[in-house]
Amino acid sequence: MKRSFSLVDVLLVLAFCGHIAWTVKASSECKQALSREIRPHSVAITEFGAVGDGVTLNTKAFQNAIFYLNSFSDKGGAKLFVPAGRWLTGSFDLISHLTLWLDKDAVILGSDNPDDWPVVDPLPSYGRGVELPGGRHRSLIYGRNLTDVIITGDNGTIDGQGSVWWNWFKRKTLDYTRPHLVELMNSTGVVISNLTFLNSPFWTIHPVYCSHVIVQNVTILAPPDSPNTDGINPDSSNDVCIEDCYISTGDDLIAIKSGWDEYGISFARPSTNIIIRRLIGHNRNGSGIAIGSEMSGGVSEVYAENLYFFYSSTAITIKTARGRGGYVRNIYILNVTLVGVDTAIRFDSTFSPHPDDFYDPNALPVIERITIKDVIGNNIKVAGLLKGIEGDTFHHVCLLNIALTVTSGSPWNCSYIQGYSAMVSPETCEPLKESIYPNHSSDCYHLSNHLRSSGNQNKGSWLHSW
């Protein structure tokens, strides 16, 4: 099968989809939300008494340096320089108009004392900690209500030293939900780039209630058996662009979320306009890209392309459940290459954890207009395990140009799913068998735009060019 519907055509599609004001999409690079001139002021963490011996606790040095730099925030901002060394610290807060810069061979190390990670309120869209009722430990690097904050460097490292937390989790001796490595909350103009993140206690990078977030050229690593060490989790955030990342962790590489059951429904802040491209990674227990399972504020306008997942559990997942409410709609995923993946596409509607007994079991999620296109895969066990909810069919699911070498005798297993397909091998399940062409392209997210823009004449040649 020749795959010649390429990026050029995609850009054509995007150029004509005027109903979405989403300028970054047409470009192949994330556009910076703010102009980032060199910060006029810069200090090194050593000027505040920090010692990079891997033993001395430097929380005070980070806090004092950032407190000092706060006076420059209305003067173009400032840079905190972290030189080569091993800088042990507890949780500290960022400020607006700050660049945290980690030089080559600079390593920020998370303290293994939980007292160095203070307990903060749960997120209103979750109602409680994700793991345990009540509050949650604050992330190692934390920011709230910020504008224009940059975490970058020359491939320096932020290492959460998460194994102590993983052990407490496994022994069920945690008092509060584990901390993230980096969390930005209610912030805008966030850039995280050119760094390596290791061994997060819990999710690695968590932008929540944020807008205009760029994550670029980062490496995120955690052992394959480390629990819940998700890579990047945009949560109730909009205009998020993630590109050129390598992620290998114990759980989802990227999980797009928006709050949990009745708390997420009433907080009602969706994740929307999310771009992911040039992502490479693997996981043994999780998904390359997941949406959910906490999606109660809604997830829409997700565009992911040029993905490569190898020796992984699942490539693309939508996770939800009765009680979640919310929606997942207008999702476009293309150019996915898979090697050695158990399940290529999975819709799992039985995610049972609920925050408490007050969720509404009649709050059914709306899952619609999901297009997955140009997927090739070798050594795949199951092509699709697509389970909707009885009385709540997931609809307008479109699969186009998918070629998988599958070992299972029943490659597709679908229930409560409705949609269309074309050029799918092995042959898709009954509910998706109806052809996209000629009559259903307008029912498929993003495919209709192409046909409208290129006209019927081109449609023929485009189809023949496979």
Ligand X SMILES: *[C@@H]1O[C@H](CO)[C@@H](O)[C@H](O)[C@H]1NC(C)=O
**Catalytic residue positions, numbered:** 251
**C-alpha span between 182 and 162 (Å, rounded):** 13
Is residue 248 near ligand X by the rule CB under 6 A?
Answer: no
Is residue 439 near ligand X by the rule CB under 6 A?
Answer: yes
Is residue 287 near ligand X by the rule CB under 6 A?
Answer: no
Is residue 462 near ligand X by the rule CB under 6 A?
Answer: no
Least distance to ligand X from the beta carbon of 329, Å? 24
Does residue 426 have a cis peptide bond before it, meaning omega lies within 30 degrees of 0? yes
Is residue 458 near ligand X by the rule CB under 6 A?
Answer: no
- Of 215, 212, 132, 152, residue with least CA distance to 204: 215
3-state secondary structure of 20: coil
Is residue 73 near ligand X by the rule CB under 6 A?
Answer: no
Least distance to ligand X from the beta carbon of 152, Å? 5
Is residue 418 near ligand X by the rule CB under 6 A?
Answer: no
Q: Which is nearer to ligand X, 58 or 287 (CB)?
A: 287
Is residue 186 near ligand X by the rule CB under 6 A?
Answer: yes
Is residue 131 near ligand X by the rule CB under 6 A?
Answer: no
What are the helix and strand counts (H, E) for the chain?
5, 29
Is residue 7 near ligand X by the rule CB under 6 A?
Answer: yes
DSSP state of 24: G
Q: Which residue blocks in 202-257 are alpha helix, DSSP H?
A: none
- Tokens of residue 443, six digits: 């029912």
Among 177, 199, 216, 272, binds ligand X (CB under 6 A): 216
**Count of residues interacting with ligand X (CB under 6 A):** 28
* CB burial of residue 255 (10 Å; 0-12, 13-18, 19+): buried
Least distance to ligand X from the beta carbon of 435, Å? 6
Is residue 4 near ligand X by the rule CB under 6 A?
Answer: no
Among 56, 64, 211, 217, binds ligand X (CB under 6 A): 217
Q: Candidates 66-74, 188-196, 315-323, 448-456 — which segment interacts with ligand X by CB under 6 A?
A: 188-196
Q: Which is nearer to ligand X, 5 or 445 (CB)?
A: 5
What are the residues whose beta carbons fall under 8 Å from the beta carbon of 67, sequence distance 6 or more?
Answer: none
* CB burial of residue 200 (10 Å; 0-12, 13-18, 19+): buried
Q: Candidates 111-119, 131-139, 214-222, 358-366 — which segment interacts with ligand X by CB under 6 A?
A: 214-222
Q: Which is nearer to ligand X, 155 or 453 (CB)?
A: 155
8 A C-beta contact, residue 411 and residue 404 = yes
Q: Which is nearer to ligand X, 329 or 414 (CB)?
A: 414
- Of 330, 217, 208, residue with least CA distance to 257: 208
Among 204, 233, 287, 306, binds ligand X (CB under 6 A): 306
* First-last CA distance in the chain: 7
Is residue 459 near ligand X by the rule CB under 6 A?
Answer: no
Q: Which is nearer to ligand X, 194 or 273 (CB)?
A: 194
Is residue 244 near ligand X by the rule CB under 6 A?
Answer: yes
Q: Which is nearer to ligand X, 139 or 329 (CB)?
A: 139
Least distance to ligand X from the beta carbon of 129, Å? 15
Is residue 28 near ligand X by the rule CB under 6 A?
Answer: no
Q: Which is nearer to ligand X, 60 or 144 (CB)?
A: 144
Among 59, 70, 393, 413, binds ligand X (CB under 6 A): 413
**C-alpha span between 434 and 443 (Å, rounded):** 12
For 198, other C-beta atoms within 10 Å of its C-beta total 21
Residue-by-residue DSSP string for 429-454: -GGG-SBSTTTTGGGSTTHHHHHHHH
- Of 269, 215, 224, residue with least CA distance to 251: 224
Least distance to ligand X from the beta carbon of 2, Å? 12
Least distance to ligand X from the beta carbon of 262, Å? 19
8 A C-beta contact, residue 441 and residue 396 = no
Angle, helix 7-15 to helix 447-464, in steps of 10 degrees: 140
**C-alpha span between 247 and 405 (Å, rounded):** 24
Is residue 237 near ligand X by the rule CB under 6 A?
Answer: no
Residues from 91 through 110 that contact ligand X (CB under 6 A): none
**C-alpha span between 359 and 264 (Å, rounded):** 10
Among 177, 238, 335, 401, binds ligand X (CB under 6 A): 335
Is residue 194 near ligand X by the rule CB under 6 A?
Answer: yes
3-state secondary structure of 67: helix
8 A C-beta contact, residue 198 and residue 158 = yes
Residues from 143 through 162 that contact ligand X (CB under 6 A): 144-145, 152, 154-155, 157
CA 373 to chain centre: 20
H/E segment holding residue 287: strand 287-291
Is residue 113 near ligand X by the rule CB under 6 A?
Answer: no
For 418, other C-beta atoms within 10 Å of its C-beta total 16
Q: Which is nearer to ligand X, 124 or 425 (CB)?
A: 124
Residues that bind ligand X (CB under 6 A): 6-7, 144-145, 152, 154-155, 157, 186, 191, 193-194, 196, 216-217, 219, 225, 228, 244, 285, 306, 308, 335, 337, 410, 413, 438-439
